[in-house]
Amino acid sequence: MVIAEFEVKAERVGDFLALARDDARHSLADEPGCRQFDIVQLDELPARVMFYEVYDDRAAFDAHLRTPHLDRFRAGFPALIVAERPVRFGHREPA
């Protein structure tokens, strides 16, 4: 499980979300090891955007890092954000 978090410029949230949706859609459609890719905005802080991503394993995530859709996201998002938090990794426990 991967969590990425961004503080987006308030006036650029729509542009950021468009880039994020492209990355999420292609991750789910084109990467067999990507099981979930949620884009989350906090209600009280709409310029704070988090990605909650689930991959089969670390190799599947590493493959994600080499995709054209992530390259598009990486090229476009720096001009749209105030800050990027360090990516966090974890695992899900069964209920």
Buried b (16+ CB within 10 A) or exposed e, 72-90: ebeebbeebeeeeeeeeee
Structural domain count of the chain: 1
Is the model's pTM score more than 0.95?
no
C-alpha distances out from residue 76 to 18, 21, 70, 82, Å: 10, 13, 10, 13
- What does each of the 95 residues of the chain score in pLDDT, given as a tens digit? 999 999 999 999 999 999 999 999 999 999 999 999 999 999 999 999 999 999 999 999 999 999 999 999 999 999 999 999 999 999 988 88
Decide if 35 contacts 57 (C-beta within 8 A): no
Task: Indicate whether 93 belongs to any domain.
Answer: no
Answer yes or no: is 11 within a domain.
yes
Closest by alpha carbon to 4, among 94, 65, 79? 65
69 part of a folded domain: yes
58 in a domain, yes or no?
Answer: yes
Instruction: Give the range of the structural domain holding residue 68, as residue numbers without chain letter.
Output: 2-88
**Does residue 47 lie within any of the structural domains?**
yes
Closest C-alpha among 29, 1, 5 to residue 81: 5
* Residue at 79: amino acid letter: A
Could you tell me if residue 95 is inside a domain? no
